[in-house]
Copies of this chain bind each other. A is one copy, B any other.
Amino acid sequence: MIIDCHGHYTTAPPALAAWRERQIAALAGSAAAPSPAGLRISDDELRESVEPNQLRMMDERGIDVTVFSPRASFMAHHVGDFRTSAAWAALCNELCHRVAGLYPERFVPAAMLPQSPGVDPATCVPELTRCVEEYGAVAVNLNPDPSGGHWTAPPLTDRSWYPLYEKLVEYDVPAMVHVSTSVNPAFHTTGAHYLNADTTAFMQLVQGDLFADFPTLRLVLPHGGGAVPYHWGRFRGLAMALGQPPLEEHVLGNVFFDTCVYHQPGIDLLLDVVPARNVLFASEMIGAVRDVDPCTGHHFDDTRRYVEASALSAEQVAAVREHNARSVYPRLDALLKRQGR
């Protein structure tokens, strides 16, 4: 079985974006706030949005199951206030839940959180609870920078994040650390902000001692961990200089990297320096890079090819493609077992 732990609903029916536009217009005072009940999307529209897109590509690539969360760049936590994010997250999470309900063997929901800049992360606990208990969410996406590229939030090791971690630990649910769109003109969203955030989060974890307080918390760093594996020697040396234990002891019991690295040499490096047990198969398709690589004739984001062409043993490939995800996402494993898989 192949589990893709990083998929977003990037192809949601246009009515969702139209609703969001009305919500943003209302914030500017130029329209009335739209009602959540006013968003009407039929099951057929949902099917039409994924069957020729994610589902087709999953079939073509042999991906059995995708952990499916709202579109990352559309989370846009910087917009409005907590109420804005709460209404928006509720709608987006419901849609992923509905897609998973239509294809229960192909999509498993993960939730976005109603974060807002400067707002206590504890306010996100009710939506987290709702998504896990009512929707069967097996993971959440946690934005370390709800400001959208201004980086005004404290590091992930700050105690203000602890109420979220407590709930994640209670549910045994991992968080993928994933920013949203950048409104800072210095940072291109998918070409800089995403990668910077992954690097930044890792270094925050190296500096701090979060997993002493939450020994069972699991965080997934997307996009292959940003710059981290490429600079593994730097991070090992910085941990030494900071008086921290080696990375293997200090963070690798709790931190995992996905395989959203879109060329063979990058995947080879990732799998060379990061232990295979810390790597989770993912493609983030249909996402930031949608074209066919003219050098290979295959999609840049067809990461299965790279993983299978790597130097990993068959056993390690199976761990990366399936078994690691089952242990990092226990609620996904339980669901698959209930399905007899």
Which A residues are closer than 8 A to B by beta carbons?
A: 144-145, 149-151, 153-155, 184-188, 190-192, 195-196, 199-200, 203-204, 206-207, 223-224, 226-227, 229-238, 240-241, 261-263, 265-266, 268-270, 272-273, 288-291, 293, 300-301
Cβ A232 vs Cβ B263 within 8 A: yes
A40 to B105, alpha carbons, bound, how many Å? 74
Q: How many copies does the complex hold?
A: 2
> How near does chain B come to A28, taking the closest CB pair, in angstroms?
24
Interface of A is mostly: helix
A-B contacts besides A234-B261, A236-B293, A237-B293, 10 pairs, CB < 8 Å: A145-B186, A154-B186, A191-B199, A195-B231, A196-B199, A230-B230, A233-B263, A234-B262, A234-B289, A234-B300
B289, A238: Cβ atoms under 8 Å? yes
28 contacts between A and B (CB under 8 A): A149-B151, A151-B186, A155-B185, A188-B206, A190-B238, A191-B203, A191-B234, A191-B238, A192-B203, A195-B199, A196-B199, A196-B200, A199-B226, A224-B230, A226-B227, A232-B265, A233-B261, A233-B263, A233-B266, A234-B263, A234-B300, A237-B288, A237-B290, A237-B300, A238-B289, A240-B291, A241-B289, A269-B269
